[in-house]
Amino acid sequence: MARPAKKSVYIALTGDLVASKAMDPEERAELQRHVLVKLKERNRALDGDSLAAPLTLTAGDEIQGLFRHSDRLVETIQELTDYLFGVVPMGETGWRHFPYLVFGVGRGHLTTDSIPAAPKQASNPALLDGPAFHRARAALETAQRTRTWASFQGFGTPEDDVLSALFSLMGAVRSRWGPEQGATSYRVRRHELQKSLAKERGVSGSVVSESLSAAHHKTLLAGEEAARKLLARLESLRDG
């Protein structure tokens, strides 16, 4: 008797702009426009090899996407968070600190139609369903309730707890940042020279270095790398 075909496993990502509904309507609309621009940029950077369905903004200011594997997952969470934490320009007001961004990550199968092989993608993650999305939704609810940067479900026990705790610790580091530290982190990651940032701000290079040090930037980078390695290890064990 032939064995049933092995179901593909995906990673669903959900994100929520906590308290965005309480914003002034014009500010919220401008925020949504910035989010859409960033999501388009991320979708171009990731393409169909990483994404099974593109990152989209749904009703209620939630972000959804479906990954084929975890290679670019941590990078995506970090990029979206850095972009919205004190980096989005709001007209002449300069950098603006928007509502807190939290994520739920769920690993599992789908129960809806099959996903096209890479580089093709499903058109809209909101039309997909299954354990991957159910777990991502449950994880997001945990992140919303606890104000954790990202919560995980479907990766195993104790792996879910380890990943969630790691992101909780990194989120605690980020929670002490001011807008300028968020902007500096984002731009340094994009290989802008600290000397150039210092000149632009009219300060010495040491001031930028001290800002990154006070933000525990190297510790954060180490945490992200640890999360990437753990996710890659989990995938290699399950695929092997």
The tens digit of pLDDT for each residue in 98-148 reads 557 899 999 999 998 789 999 999 989 999 999 999 999 999 999 999 989
Element (H, E) at 72: none
Question: What average pLDDT does the segment 13-42 reach?
Answer: 86
Q: Are strands 62-67 and 85-89 parallel, antiparallel or unpaired?
A: unpaired
Question: What average pLDDT does the segment 31-54 reach?
Answer: 92
Asked if pLDDT for residue 195 goes beyond 90, the answer is: no
CA dist list (Å): 94 to 90, 180, 201: 6, 10, 13
- Which pLDDT score, from 0 to 100, does residue 21 have? 77
Asked if pLDDT for residue 89 goes beyond 90, the answer is: no
Could you give the angle at the alpha carbon of 17 between the alpha carbons of 14 and 119, nearest 5°? 35
Q: How confident is residue 167, by pLDDT bands cut at 50, 70 and 90?
A: very high
- Which pLDDT score, from 0 to 100, does residue 192 have? 64
> What percentage of the chain reaches a pLDDT higher than 70?
89
Backbone angles phi, psi at 36, to 5 degrees: -60, -40
Q: What count of other Cβ atoms lies within 10 Å of the Cβ of residue 72?
A: 19
- Which pLDDT score, from 0 to 100, does residue 95 have? 41
Q: Which of 19-28, 31-40, 62-71, 104-113 has the lowest mean pLDDT?
A: 19-28
Question: What average pLDDT does the segment 71-98 reach?
Answer: 72
- Which pLDDT score, from 0 to 100, does residue 92 have? 43
